[in-house]
Amino acid sequence: MTLSDVPDVVPYPAHLARSYRESGMWRPHTIAGELKLVAERQPDALAVVTAAERITYRELDRRADRFAVALRRLGLEPGDPVVFQLANEVHTVVAYYGVLRAGLIPICSLAQHREREIGYLIRHTGARAHLVEAEFRDYDLPGFAASLAAKHTNMHAVVVCGGPAGSGQHAYEALIEGVDPGEAAAEVATWRIDPESVAVFQLSGGTTGDPKVIPRLHCEYAYNARAWGRFWDWGPGSVVLHAAPMMHNAGIVVAVQSAHLTGATLVLVPRIDVKAIAEAVAAERVTDMMMGLGLMTRVAEHPELDTFDFSSLRRVFFAPSIPAAGDQAEELFGCTVVPLFGAGEGIFLTAPDDAPEHARKATCGAPLSPLDEIRVLAPGTEDQVPPGEIGELAARGPYTIHGYFRAPERNRDAFTSDGFYRTGDLTRAHVIGGVTYYSHEGRITDNISRGGEKIHADELEALLLRHPAVAEVSVVGMPDRLLGEKVCAFVRPAGEQAPTVADLAALLLDLGLAKYKLPERVEIVDDLPRTKVGKVSKRDLRTRIAEILEREQADG
């Protein structure tokens, strides 16, 4: 029995799974198994490159074998979840494929997450191992992992990557060096992992405080990546750079797996720094790159912009939330800009290089797979809106899940009765040149996107109410030209002493919240605006803070 057979994971309906197999989209290989096939075809091709290290497909495959065997020898068993808190490094890629090859399940969390987020994931998934960076900015991740391991009896092993391990922990390099390459290859060859079992736990950017865990299967997650890479005709000679944390769904699908399952080269920049990215593009002759609006703005404003060489770029992938940004990006990089919309739950939208300009710059694109099904629903219903009207984007297809892990109540709201995933995004269908494209028209759900990281408003509000100086609070996203949005808290004080940004930050950090979720502005109010039914009007608050910021900018 595999995890995909038990009630914790909602299976694909039998008739759909059969059609995906018969189409050849779902193959009888695991993700790491597909990597091995590529490594056998082109062993000497470059697989991963950083400024400090370069490894071939042969070496990536061998290291993954050795790490997989080392993890099994630690006592980890197929199906055990493994928390990842690693940076954009070669060892992260090796560890990812090694964990998959061992039949373990990577939990794609962030190095920035803290006790509230990681503690929940350990409890919810039953995670048995924790992989951390030896050094990450100014935070002691090995010490953090040790403290969590002491609190959770299911935590079996902590592995430290990129440096020495602490007492009771294991050093990544020592684990690999302790396994003979030939013995590892022979042992791995005897293992059998079901291609339709759970491969990866991604995390949802939905509206509730605790992240929803997204179970991705080997067969469909590999197809998602292959389909993306092949859509862009990637292969030997393609060089891919993902200018964001790689353990996000976008990083894994758009960069790591899609590059490696098509034989391309993956370029990693450990820290998201404009100059480092520009140097990597020039040095490695990067052909394809994904970045967000904030990073693009920093590139445009960099004092050394005139010295940057982007001539190798064929295309830049970009979330088209601001149509004018597409024009700016094409001028900045001198290449084609193409849209990308993706969800950790599955569905991808994009548009080819030769799509009409309006489709590329003003929409998110069309579905990636010919077997993707899209509906535009009246919010809160299963009724489709008339063509051309705005509604909620809902999707079903060969790489879109049918339910979150251990979340039956959330699944009732997030999926239709026939298995379409409700994205929470508003969209409008546009027929352009005979193809239906979908534009992004806002969100139904109440969250804030800070530099691409989703922040749940209700989680923050519930925690902020614990502060004795807060009687009532509502948090919204305020516009920011670099990050898209930052958190603004509107507070009705409980007494004469109003709380400050520092006061609220101290509370949230004490509660173990990740730093990027902290409010960066507090607006003190006598009362919060209400709708006709008595709910706080977030729309009014967003408008209010946007107007305040405009006035402040005008005043200098």
The whole-angstrom separation of Cα 209 and Cα 424 is: 16
Q: What is the pLDDT of residue 4?
A: 47
Q: What is the pLDDT of residue 7?
A: 61
- Residue 275 contacts residue 302 (beta carbons within 8 Å): yes
- DSSP secondary structure string for all residues of 200-241: EEEE---SSSSPPEEEEEHHHHHHHHHHHHHHTT--TT-EEE
Burial of residue 370 (number of CB atoms within 10 Å: 0-12, 13-18, 19+): exposed
CA count, 13 A, side-chain hemisphere, 43 = 4
- For residue 163, CA distances in Å to 91, 170, 318 come to 11, 10, 35
Domains of the chain plus CATH, in order, are 447-555 (3.30.300.30)
CA count, 13 A, side-chain hemisphere, 159 = 27
- DSSP secondary structure string for all residues of 47-98: EEE-SS-EEEHHHHHHHHHHHHHHHHHTT--TT-EEEEE--SSHHHHHHHHH
Q: What is the pLDDT of residue 5?
A: 47
The whole-angstrom separation of Cα 252 and Cα 156 is: 26
Q: What is the pLDDT of residue 1?
A: 37
With b for 16 or more beta-carbon neighbours within 10 A and e for fewer, the 433-468 pattern comes to eeeebbbbeeeebbbbbbbbbbbbbebbbebbeebe
The whole-angstrom separation of Cα 338 and Cα 325 is: 11
Q: What is the pLDDT of residue 534?
A: 84
Q: What is the CA radius of gyration of the chain?
A: 23
Q: What is the pLDDT of residue 3?
A: 47
Question: Identity (one letter) of the amino acid at 14?
Answer: A
Burial of residue 422 (number of CB atoms within 10 Å: 0-12, 13-18, 19+): buried
Tokens of 70: 């080392």
Query: Which of 133, 112, 51 lies closest to 245, judged by CA?
Result: 112
Tokens of 530: 């209400």
Burial of residue 417 (number of CB atoms within 10 Å: 0-12, 13-18, 19+): exposed
**DSSP strand E in 154-197: where?**
157-161, 170-171
Burial of residue 115 (number of CB atoms within 10 Å: 0-12, 13-18, 19+): middle
Tokens of 160: 């430290």
3-state secondary structure of 375: strand
* Cβ-Cβ contacts under 8 Å for 252 (sequence gap 6 or more): 96, 108, 200, 202, 225, 246
The whole-angstrom separation of Cα 364 and Cα 227 is: 17
The whole-angstrom separation of Cα 155 and Cα 80 is: 10
* Cβ-Cβ contacts under 8 Å for 81 (sequence gap 6 or more): 104, 105, 106, 107, 125, 126, 127, 128, 129, 201
The whole-angstrom separation of Cα 485 and Cα 449 is: 6
Provide the residue-wise pLDDT of the chain in tens; the chain has 556 residues.
344 444 699 999 999 999 999 999 999 999 999 999 999 999 999 999 999 999 999 999 999 999 999 999 999 999 999 999 999 999 999 999 999 999 999 999 999 999 999 999 999 999 999 999 999 988 999 999 999 999 999 999 999 999 999 999 999 999 999 999 999 999 999 999 999 999 999 998 655 568 899 999 999 999 999 999 999 999 999 999 999 899 999 999 999 999 999 999 999 999 889 999 999 999 999 999 998 878 888 999 999 999 999 999 999 998 766 656 778 889 999 999 999 999 999 999 999 999 999 999 889 999 999 999 999 999 999 999 999 999 999 999 999 999 999 999 999 999 999 999 999 999 999 999 999 999 999 888 788 989 888 898 988 999 999 999 999 999 999 999 888 899 999 999 999 999 999 999 999 999 999 999 999 999 999 999 998 878 899 999 999 999 999 999 998 7
